[in-house]
């Protein structure tokens, strides 16, 4: 388990100082880029607040009754609020398949529903079992306006001993009234040196970790997940394996430049994203194309690539063949494709059009 507290030590220390002085805000908004360990940081903070005998640095002791309850997921003074779609499916132990709930055809909500927040009222207004209650809401931007407004009263008039921990990848999407009633705890991308030390300290170490750290813009959690998948480790998730396959297929073809075959690439990528009804993998594909385009722009301007630094010579070769007019419009085309990625009418045609615009980067100018 990674030590996310150590990677975000400044924020943790300030929280513990405020706590020791009795000035800890009842509601903290823990925000920052995706993949940097915000949720893990918030979970460790929740453990700390609920612990009976926290350590000198504020961490949970891990051995008291409260920590035992929390580790087992049964602490009566802890509530986690998240979209239904984020919950792990219930598995039938006999068939080892998702259990039937009678609502199999209903798409799980990707938003935090208003009844989930209203359900907190009885929890926060009833006495705690051990002196402190914690509500963890993640991701907070999954609350729509009605849900956020339902939470406001609890944020404005919190009972003593109740702590709200809101985790957000996009705090700017929260209602200003919610943000104004929380104390901001911004977390940044861990410095590269510290992240590399973490990668080197893993057992066994990740040989491809540094490369994926660059590709993930320093987001350590994502880098570890994708490096594990690239190295075919037993703990690699299905989603990470699919994303690595997608990146490999894309990069090998995008670096062909004017020899790119839009139809063939669309066919191979369709096979990788087909069946993903949420559109997540299609959106990921475009995210990676945006990262590739960033490096292409950087090299064209005489700088080094930051996402795919190992491809410097390849980018330099491509940069000499670019149509600058088409290159200037390419980011807008990717943004529009990203906007439409959740609801493409036909994935193959969608991808063919996108890769044709990529090929047009090398068309001769007038």
Burial of 161 (0-12, 13-18, 19+ CB in 10 A): middle
Q: What is the pLDDT confidence band of residue 212, given thresholds at 50, 70 and 90?
A: very high
Residue 335: domain span: 237-362
Q: Are residues 140 and 28 in the same domain?
A: yes
pLDDT of residue 75 exceeding 70, the answer is yes
- Please report, for residues 28, 182, 193, the alpha-carbon distance to residue 185 in angstroms, rounded to integers and kept in the order given: 7, 9, 23
Q: Which sign does the torsion angle of CA 201, 203, 204, 207 carry?
A: negative
Q: Are residues 180 and 287 in the same domain?
A: no
Q: Are residues 248 and 348 in the same domain?
A: yes
Q: Are residues 243 and 313 in the same domain?
A: yes
Q: What is the pLDDT confidence band of residue 99, given thresholds at 50, 70 and 90?
A: low
Domain assignment present for 197: no
Q: Are residues 42 and 178 in the same domain?
A: yes
pLDDT, position 271: 85
Domain assignment present for 195: no
pTM exceeds 0.75, yes or no: yes
Q: Are residues 19 and 134 in the same domain?
A: yes
pLDDT, position 92: 47
Given 122, 156, 186, the domain boundary residue is 186
Residue pair 51/68 in contact by the 8 Å Cβ criterion: no
**β-pairing, 27-31 with 91-92?**
unpaired
pLDDT of residue 129 exceeding 70, the answer is no
Output 272 or 323, whichever has higher pLDDT. Answer: 323
Domain count, the chain: 2
Q: Are residues 166 and 40 in the same domain?
A: yes
Q: Are residues 177 and 292 in the same domain?
A: no
Domain assignment present for 128: yes
Q: Are residues 281 and 149 in the same domain?
A: no
Length of the chain: 366
pLDDT of residue 106 exceeding 80, the answer is no
Q: Tell me, what CATH number does 67's domain have?
A: 3.40.50.300
Please provide residue 177's backbone torsions phi and psi, each rounded to the nearest 5 degrees: -65, -30
pLDDT of residue 100 exceeding 80, the answer is no
Query: What is the tens place of the pLDDT at every residue in 142-178?
Result: 999 999 999 998 898 888 889 999 999 999 999 999 9
The region of weakest confidence among 76-90, 114-128, 214-228 is 76-90
Given 165, 186, 207, the domain boundary residue is 186
Domain assignment present for 222: no
Percentage of residues of the chain with pLDDT beyond 70: 91
Domain assignment present for 313: yes
């Amino acid at each position: 388990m990674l030590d996310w507290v150590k990677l975000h030590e400044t924020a943790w220390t300030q929280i513990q100082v405020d706590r020791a002085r009795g000035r800890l805000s009842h509601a903290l908004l823990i925000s920052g880029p995706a993949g940097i360990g915000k949720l893990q940081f918030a979970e460790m903070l929740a453990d700390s607040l609920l612990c009976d005998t926290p350590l000198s640095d504020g961490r949970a002791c891990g051995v008291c009754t409260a920590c035992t309850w929390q580790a087992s997921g049964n602490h009566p003074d802890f509530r986690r609020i998240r979209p239904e779609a984020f919950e792990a499916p219930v598995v039938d132990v006999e068939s080892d398949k998702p259990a039937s709930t009678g609502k199999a055809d209903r798409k799980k909500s990707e938003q935090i529903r208003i009844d989930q927040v209203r359900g907190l009222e009885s929890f926060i207004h009833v006495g705690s079992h051990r002196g402190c209650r914690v509500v963890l809401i993640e991701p907070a931007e999954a609350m729509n306006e009605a849900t956020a407004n339902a939470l406001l009263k609890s944020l404005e008039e919190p009972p003593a001993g109740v702590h709200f921990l809101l985790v957000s990848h996009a705090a700017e999407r929260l209602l200003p009234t919610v943000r104004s009633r929380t104390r901001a705890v911004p977390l940044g991308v861990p410095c590269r040196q510290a992240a590399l030390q973490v990668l080197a300290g893993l057992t066994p170490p990740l040989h491809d970790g540094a490369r994926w750290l660059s590709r993930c813009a320093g987001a350590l959690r994502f880098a570890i997940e994708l490096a594990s998948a690239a190295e075919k480790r037993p703990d690699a998730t299905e989603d990470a394996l699919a994303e690595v396959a997608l990146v490999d297929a894309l990069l090998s073809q995008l670096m062909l430049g004017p020899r790119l075959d839009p139809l063939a690439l669309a066919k191979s990528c369709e096979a990788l994203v087909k069946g993903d009804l949420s559109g997540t993998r299609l959106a990921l594909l475009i995210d990676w194309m945006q990262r590739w385009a960033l490096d292409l722009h950087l090299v064209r301007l005489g700088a080094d690539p930051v996402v795919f630094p190992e491809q410097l010579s390849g980018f330099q070769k491509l940069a000499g063949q670019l149509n600058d007019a088409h290159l200037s419009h390419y980011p807008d085309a990717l943004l529009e494709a990203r906007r439409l990625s959740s609801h493409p009418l036909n994935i193959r045609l969608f991808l063919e059009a996108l890769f044709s615009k990529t090929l047009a980067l090398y068309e001769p100018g007038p």
